[in-house]
């Protein structure tokens, strides 16, 4: 005896009902310039629900409560599930999509401010490593919920409470990353089972991400981090597949491409200088080698769209 199509449809698990809720800061002007939480929300997405590609002008942290999805940024795609978080950086071109069968439910917090970038880096997150986990997933979810609640209640101390929740959340990410690095074989990207090596690589990435526009050298970075240059270069290449010099050049080129796209008033020479290239001709050669066209040609190609 065979089952009918209606029987099979009835037996198939149905996706959760889509929901969406967001609460904004009741007093955004009182949040200050150093750190300001803008809004917080929660959503159960539809199967295959997609956002982007798009650019935001503030930071966003998404925390996945259940289900699965993918996040794409800086030319990389990350498959994420319950307990994972992904960070969106201002000006980055990003897209993210829910799984077709297990669409994710996530929470988010949006924030900005002069201290925002430094605090995100302190949590161990960078544009080249935009995902994170918190050691206690349930506790992490509560920080998101508390931000929503304090904005709903419109308390006089809403700004301070929201900032406090955000700082606690970032500290949880930092603690979880340090714990992973201290446990051999458990750190993200720790293929060789060498926790200190993974930590050194992240330190180098964070150093270059923060100071790429400065006239830094690998020698200066090694000295600043307290390591021998040859050792740092060897460990970095083993972990990433590229040398620190190649990583720094590509980082600068990625930032240059963004400036060429978003700051049309800047000349090619000004763009080169803004991202750490002292020689505009060298910058143009490296740009063409990486992207197949000169900076001027790339900018011209944008006018077609």
d(CA 212, CA 277): 9
Answer whether residue 112 is part of any domain.
yes
Answer whether residue 10 is part of any domain.
no
The pLDDT, as a whole number, for residue 194 is: 45
Residue where one domain finishes, among candidates 182, 212, 241 = 182
- What are the pLDDT digits (tens) for 113-157? 989 998 998 888 888 889 888 766 667 888 999 999 999 998 778
Answer whether residue 122 is part of any domain.
yes
d(CA 160, CA 148): 13
Same domain? 132 vs 228: no
pTM strictly above 0.75: no
Same domain? 243 vs 159: no
Parent domain of 133:
19-182
Answer whether residue 28 is part of any domain.
yes
Residue where one domain finishes, among candidates 182, 213, 244 = 182
The pLDDT, as a whole number, for residue 174 is: 85
- What are the pLDDT digits (tens) for 226-261? 888 898 898 888 888 888 998 899 889 988 988 998
The pLDDT, as a whole number, for residue 21 is: 94
Point out which residues pair with 61 in neighbouring strands. 87, 109
Same domain? 89 vs 44: yes
d(CA 271, CA 266): 6
Residue where one domain finishes, among candidates 182, 217, 238 = 182
Same domain? 31 vs 144: yes
Block means of pLDDT (10 residues each) for the chain, length 305 residues?
50 76 83 84 95 92 94 87 92 92 95 91 86 76 91 87 92 79 43 57 83 88 87 86 88 89 90 93 92 90 69
- Main-chain dihedrals φ then ψ at residue 156, nearest 5 degrees: -65, -30
Same domain? 163 vs 242: no
Same domain? 170 vs 236: no
The pLDDT, as a whole number, for residue 31 is: 59
CATH of the domain at 87: 2.60.120.280
CA dist 255 to 179, 214, 263, 276, Å?
A: 31, 13, 11, 10
Same domain? 143 vs 196: no
Answer whether residue 8 is part of any domain.
no
Same domain? 145 vs 260: no
DSSP the chain: -PPPHHHHHHHSPPPPPPEEEEEE-S-GGGS-SS-EEEEEEEEEPPTT-EEEEEE-SSEEEEEEEESEEEEEETTEEEEEETTEEEEE-TT-EEEEEE-SSSB-EEEEEEEE-TTHHHHHHHTT-BTTB-EEE-SSHHHHHHHHHHHHHHHHHT-TTHHHHHHHHHHHHHHHHHHHHHHHHHSTTTSTT-TTS-HHHHHHHHHHHHHHHHHTTS---HHHHHHHHT--HHHHHHHHHHHHSS-HHHHHHHHHHHHHHHHHHH-TTS-HHHHHHHTT-S-HHHHHHHHHHHHSS-HHHHHHHHTT-
As for how many domains the chain has, the answer is 2
The pLDDT, as a whole number, for residue 39 is: 95
113: left (phi over 0), alpha (psi -120 to 50) or beta: left
Same domain? 102 vs 164: yes
CATH of the domain at 273: 1.10.10.60
The pLDDT, as a whole number, for residue 223 is: 87
Same domain? 153 vs 26: yes
The pLDDT, as a whole number, for residue 189 is: 39
- For β-strands 59-66 and 50-55, DSSP reports them as unpaired
Answer whether residue 5 is part of any domain.
no
Answer whether residue 6 is part of any domain.
no
Same domain? 130 vs 202: no
The pLDDT, as a whole number, for residue 173 is: 87
Same domain? 217 vs 266: yes
The pLDDT, as a whole number, for residue 135 is: 66
Answer whether residue 232 is part of any domain.
yes
């Amino acid at each position: 005896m065979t089952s009918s199509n209606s029987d099979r449809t009835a037996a198939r698990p149905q996706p959760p009902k889509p929901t969406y809720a967001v609460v904004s800061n009741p007093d955004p002007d009182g949040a200050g310039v150093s750190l300001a939480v803008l809004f917080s929300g929660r959503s159960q997405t539809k199967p295959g629900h997609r956002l982007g590609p798009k650019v935001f002008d503030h930071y966003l942290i998404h925390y996945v409560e259940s289900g699965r999805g993918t996040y794409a940024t800086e030319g990389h795609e990350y498959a994420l599930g319950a307990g994972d978080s992904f960070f969106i950086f201002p000006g980055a071109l990003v897209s993210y999509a829910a799984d077709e069968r297990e669409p994710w439910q996530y929470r988010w917090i949006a924030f900005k401010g002069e201290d925002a970038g430094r605090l995100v880096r302190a949590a161990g997150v960078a544009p080249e490593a935009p995902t994170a986990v918190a050691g206690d997933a349930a506790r992490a979810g509560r920080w998101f919920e508390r931000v929503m609640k304090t904005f709903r209640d419109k308390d006089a101390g809403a700004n301070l409470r929201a900032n406090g929740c955000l700082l606690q959340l970032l500290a949880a990410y930092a603690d979880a990353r340090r714990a992973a690095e201290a446990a051999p074989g458990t750190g993200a990207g720790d293929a060789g089972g060498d926790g200190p090596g993974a930590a050194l690589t992240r330190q180098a990435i964070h150093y270059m991400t923060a100071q790429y526009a400065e006239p830094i050298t690998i020698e200066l970075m090694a000295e600043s981090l307290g390591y021998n240059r040859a050792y740092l270069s060897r460990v970095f290449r083993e972990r990433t597949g590229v040398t620190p010099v190649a990583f720094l050049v590509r980082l600068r080129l990625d930032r240059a491409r963004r400036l060429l796209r978003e700051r049309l008033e800047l000349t090619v020479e000004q763009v080169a200088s803004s991202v750490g290239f002292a020689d505009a001709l060298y910058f143009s050669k490296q740009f063409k080698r990486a992207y197949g066209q000169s900076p001027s040609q790339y900018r011209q190609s944008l006018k077609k769209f």
